[in-house]
Amino acid sequence: MYFSQKGAVRRVRSCLSLLKKGDFAIMGIVLCSVLMSFAALNSRQDDKQLEIIVTINGEEVYRQPWSREQTYTIGLNLPKGAKAFLDVTPEGVQMQPLPFEVCPAQICSHMGRISKPGQVILCVPNKLIVEIARVGSLQLDIDGITE
Amino acid sequence: MSRDLFKMVRLGLLLGLAMALWLLEGLLPINHVIPGAKLGLANVVILIIVLRFGLKEALMINLLRCFIISLFTGTTFGFTFVLSLGGGICAALAMGAIGRWGMKHVSVIGLSIAGAFAHNIAQVILACIMLGHRGILVYLPYFLVFSLPTGFFTGLVTHYVLQATGWQDVFQSERGGEKSA
């Protein structure tokens, strides 16, 4: 049979037999650089201290550590005059539904609760970004990535 | 004279093939499985040029390919154009250097992995410089990990292409008696 197990093993072996010594060196360099870059980027993330960052219209309006202990609400002034409310609970952060006049699609409140570092709530009509980040970690430039 | 003409025609055909492969690659759904990942099938052609003609020709064809593809997609001198150009130049340089001096110890697969590696590093660093934000570096390890399987695959494809076309044996004569694999 063409696709017998023995044939598959032989095929894989014939692929691997193509490799020369230098190939393994190149793969080793690749793997080492992967590990090194991964380690370098994650070295400052041991403390597990998270913070909530809110950006409206490209301007950072709120940045506070998040301890996952209390429950409170953050009020935010939107450029269109309305006020947005952000519920912070020990489980996560969630947008309260905005009035339809300023946020017709209601996507931001439907995004639900975020709790892990790197997660984001976006409200496009109000240019609002709520972000959870590790304190001192690199932050992603959302405009750049979606371009 | 006719030798130069043959070379030009062959390079032109390979350039067309590279662009056709780029189009074909866009049809593969791998991009939806892993966001931003690409197989790099056009790299097969660049590998063949590196092995058959050399570094200068590979660099030239890669530059032309990036430019013509950007004319197709309408992104000439835009952000993605600079990314693909920088990646292409770095990949061609890395593969050309290894292909020139290291083919005794490296197979096509290693060559391809080195090219994918250089391509990914160059793209991430260029994106960092152009956006002025080092947050992009977070993606670097993931891109580099993907350069292993994609590079292996394109290298394997190139090996079979060389085998099927019988081009393996003509390296020496094509490169003017220069010693290569």
B141-176 per-residue burial string, b: 16 or more CB within 10 A, e: under 16: bbbbbbbbebbbbbbbbbbebbeeeeeeeebeebee
| Count of structural domains within chain A | 2
For B2-168, CATH number? 1.10.1760.20
Q: What tokens does B68 get?
A: 């013509």
Q: In terms of Cα–Cα distance, which of A94, A50, A47 is closest to A68?
A: A50
Q: What is the pLDDT of residues A14-43, one digit of tens each?
A: 878 888 888 898 999 999 998 988 887 766
Residue B78: helix, strand or coil by DSSP?
coil
ipTM confidence score: 0.76
Q: Does A96 touch chain B (CB under 8 A)?
A: no
Q: Is B79 on the interface with A (CB under 8 A)?
A: yes
Task: Kindly determine whether residue B113 and residue A19, on different chains, have CB atoms separated by under 8 Å.
Answer: no
Residues of chain B with pLDDT under 70: 1, 31-36, 132-136, 168-181
Query: What pLDDT, on the 0 to 100 scale, is given for residue A82?
Result: 82
Shortest CB distance from B144 goes to which of A26, A37, A140? A37
In Å, how far from its chain's centre is CA B67?
Answer: 14
Do A86 and A110 share a domain, yes or no? yes
Q: Is B148's CB within 8 Å of A31's CB?
A: yes
Give pLDDT, residue A146: 43
For B20-46, the pLDDT digits (tens) are 998 888 888 776 666 667 788 888 999
Q: Are A37 and A99 within one domain?
A: no
B130's CB contacts (< 8 A; 6+ apart) are B79, B82, B83
pLDDT of residue A147: 36
- Looking at the predicted structure, is the pLDDT value of residue A3 above 70? no
- Give me the residues paired with residue A60 across strands: A55
A73-118 per-position pLDDT tens digit: 888 888 877 888 888 888 888 888 888 877 777 777 787 888 877 7
Domain containing residue A10:
5-42
Residue A92 near residue A114, CB atoms below 8 Å: yes
* Nearest CA distance, A101 vs chain B (angstrom): 34
- Given a contact cutoff of 8 angstroms between Cβ atoms, the answer to whether A117 and A134 are in contact is yes
Beta-carbon separation of B137 and A20 below 8 A? no
Identify whether residues A112 and A66 lie together within a single domain: yes
What is the structure's pLDDT at B178?
Answer: 45
Shared domain check, A136 and A97: yes
A38 touches chain B (CB under 8 A): yes
Report the C-alpha gap between B86 and B63 in whole angstroms: 9
Residues A83 and A32 in one domain: no
For chain B, domain boundaries: 2-168
